[in-house]
Each structure stands twice: as C-alpha cells, then as structure tokens.
Amino acid sequence: MPTHIGSHTIELQSSPSLLGFAAVGSKKESEGPIGKHFDMISSDALFGQKSWELAEGEMQKAAAQKALAKASLAPGDIGMLFAGDLLNQITASHYGLRELGIPFMGLYGACSTMSQGLILAAMMVEGGFARKAMAVTSSHFCSAERQYRFPLEYGGTRPPTAQWTATAAGAVIVGENTPSPPYVRNVCIGTIENKDVKDLSNMGAAMAPAAALTLKRYFEDTGTGPANYDVILTGDLGEVGCDLLGQLMEREGYKLEGKHADCGLILFDKETQDVNAGGSGCGCAAAVLCAYLLPGMRSGKINEVLFMATGALMSPTSVQQGQDIPGIAHLVHLSTKQSGRPEVS
C-alpha cells in the first residue's frame, strides 16, 4: 500500500512496472533530434482522417495499440484507461480510444496530462484496483491552433515566447511489479498556482512557478536534491520557462545545472525548426517520455529520473475574458531500481 512521505509525496511501495510504451508523431516531429526513436511517424498530419480533431484521436489509438503490441497484451488485459488531450471535452481521447473497449476515465491537465495519467494508472495498480492500467495523451498543432488561437490561414506572427504545439501522442502501460524496469517509485501531485500571467503566447512563464513549487516540495519531502537524479525532465516549459525555473529553484537553494532538461527543447531543434521558444502540447511530454526517456531507462543508460509534466490550465473562454493562466505540475519518480534511495551522482 502507498505511504505518505512529508506533506505532498506518496511512495508506491509495490513499485509498479512500466510494461509497454509507444510514441506516435508526424513529419515535423520526425525532423527533430529524437525523430528516429518514434514507434510510428505519419507524413500525413491528417492521419487519413477528415479533420484535425479526428486525426488526433487516430494518433491516440495508434499509440495505445503499439504500446499493447510491444507489451504482448490485448485491450482486454487493461483494467483502466486514463487519457486526455487539449480539445474541448477531450474529444480526441473519446473518439480515438472508444474502439478499444477499456474502462475509461477522461483527464484534463493541459500539458501536464501525461504525468497526471501516469500517476493515476500507477496508483490504480498500487491500490490493487487494476492489475494493469494505461495512460494515453496527445496534442495536434492544427487542432490546438484552431481552438486556442487564430485559424492557420490568418497567418499571425508568433512572438519569441510562443511555443509550437506538438503533433504527437504517447501511451504507457503500468502493471504489477515485474523484474523489468522502469518502475514508478514516488509521485508528487501539484497544486494550482497563479502568478497573474495572462499572455497566451508565454505559457512557460505561467507554468514555471508551479513546476518550482512541486519540485521544491518533493525535494523537501524526500530529503533528496538534484544530485540524486540523472535527469529532471520537465514538459513543456520551453526556453523561457526553463530559465525561470532555474532562477526560482536557485532562490530555494537548488541548482539544476547539468540535471534539468525540458521536453519542449528535446522534441524540436529550436535553432533549425522555427518553433520559437520550443515545443508544447500534451503530446510533447508524452512523446519524449515514450520515445526517448523510457527506452533509455530500459537499456540502463538512465537510472533515476524525475518526470514532471506541467500544464497551463486555461480555456479559450477564460483567455478571451482576460483571466490569468493558472499553472500546475505533477511529478513522477521513475527508477531502474525497485527499492532504495537514489544515490548522489
């Protein structure tokens, strides 16, 4: 059963295993630094569908099916499915995953949805409510632009602080402890933080305070620090948010240099791909996790990771009404070890 550590962190004593994972992307993602690691790339951003929204659902289904195949599992083996996206009423998840017939719970955590889903899937397994559970997340550049900003045909200029929504999806299957890493060791669920940021084109600034607070709480609860981990992976703060996170953590006495990386700066090459401050969207963190981080852990190249996806919790209506943008960050400690404190590296 889970054990509370400090005020915000939960230790999963059974150390649920990540049994299978897969990432799906499109042309722009294939041209980035980790493009060759995707399980599936479609040069057609519509994925054979009639709309961008249906295309996003098709990505989710493809990611889920590939994760199942890699784990030699069928949909009937999964006891619970947690999924979400950026669209109104998370329709990409509903339309994309309905054919699987898995008990479903929809999530909305904006770009934090992958860590949110992973936490809930792991806790479902830890508590004995499911032997296996799945987390799936996606985003699509064109569906997000249609919902949150102007139609693509408008041709509006993107400011330097803006980030490029990834056309990508990721799926992870969590199961009871097996001899195969990675394992989910601890989780830290974030709180909603508001710092009066209202600029839709500067989500990194809106999310960085939430990321800093969640990370600070986790370090305090566990008595660890940056030196105990190989990578502290955020998603998706982008260039602006990463700079702010570093400053905020240094004020608290933690230096992240050499340990911190961001999914928004891994998925795309901001120097050559015209993505302004980096990548964004639910699918960005999901794809980097499933295509790059987890394979690295399974191969033993990476051992101790803090995966912390961050979200800007706004809607088109709230932005039009001039409301500020709340941020949130959820943290998952992933390890190749089933037990024991992470050593200082």
Phi-psi region of 316 (alpha: psi -120 to 50; beta: other; left: phi over 0): alpha
pLDDT at 193 over 70: yes
- Higher-pLDDT residue of 343 and 85 is 85
- Please, which pLDDT band fits residue 56 given cuts at 50, 70 and 90? very high
In the predicted model, what is the mean pLDDT of residues 167-180?
94
Report the residue count for the chain: 345
Query: Coil, helix or strand for 93?
Result: helix
Cα–Cα distance between 82 and 104 in angstroms, integer? Answer: 6
Structure tokens given for 177: 């402890």
The CATH code belonging to domain 183-335 is 3.40.47.40
The model's pTM:
0.96
Residue 186, CB-side half-sphere exposure with 13 Å CA sphere = 28
In the predicted model, what is the mean pLDDT of residues 40-66?
97
Say what percent of the chain tops pLDDT 70.
97
Considering the chain, what is the average pLDDT of its residues? 94
pLDDT score at 152: 63
**For domain 3-175, which architecture applies?**
3-Layer(aba) Sandwich (3.40)
CA 27, 32, 34, 36 torsion-angle sign: positive
The candidate with the shortest Cα–Cα distance to 80, out of 171, 170, 173, 15, is 173
Residues of the chain with CATH 3.40.47.40: 3-175, 183-335
In the predicted model, what is the mean pLDDT of residues 183-188?
98
- Please, which pLDDT band fits residue 176 given cuts at 50, 70 and 90? very high
Say how many C-beta atoms besides its own lie within 10 A of residue 48's C-beta. Answer: 9
| Alpha-carbon distance values, 59 to 20, 23, 48 (Å) | 17, 9, 11
